[in-house]
Amino acid sequence: MLFLRHHCVQARAVAEDGPESTPCRTAPTHTPAVLITRGRIDDQLGKIASLAPRDERRKAFRLLVAVLAIADGRRRERNCSNGCGHWWHRLSAAD
């Protein structure tokens, strides 16, 4: 979870990504969805990654993956559209 949080930060997740990421099978009242909309995004990502109960960790994982998809998509459009050296852009579904 902390590794996934790190990738969200590296992808430059912003506060606006939180509300956009909550429809990913996570109700807006679930703990990760509430946390993502409160306070500084990197602090909140850390809190979400540290959730302990198994049920909350599932929700947190789904939310962090959604945040990463949004942030990385935006970063690819802005910074990588003309090519880059990021190895993760070359991953295939089979990898």
Q: What is the pLDDT of residue 92?
A: 64
pLDDT in tens, 33-82: 888 888 888 899 999 999 999 988 988 998 899 899 999 889 888 888 78
Contact indicator for 60, 47 with CB cutoff of 8 Å: no
Q: Per-residue pLDDT tens for 16-26?
A: 888 888 766 66
49, HSE (Cβ side, Cα atoms, 13 Å): 19
pTM: 0.81
Top pLDDT among 49 and 84 is at 49
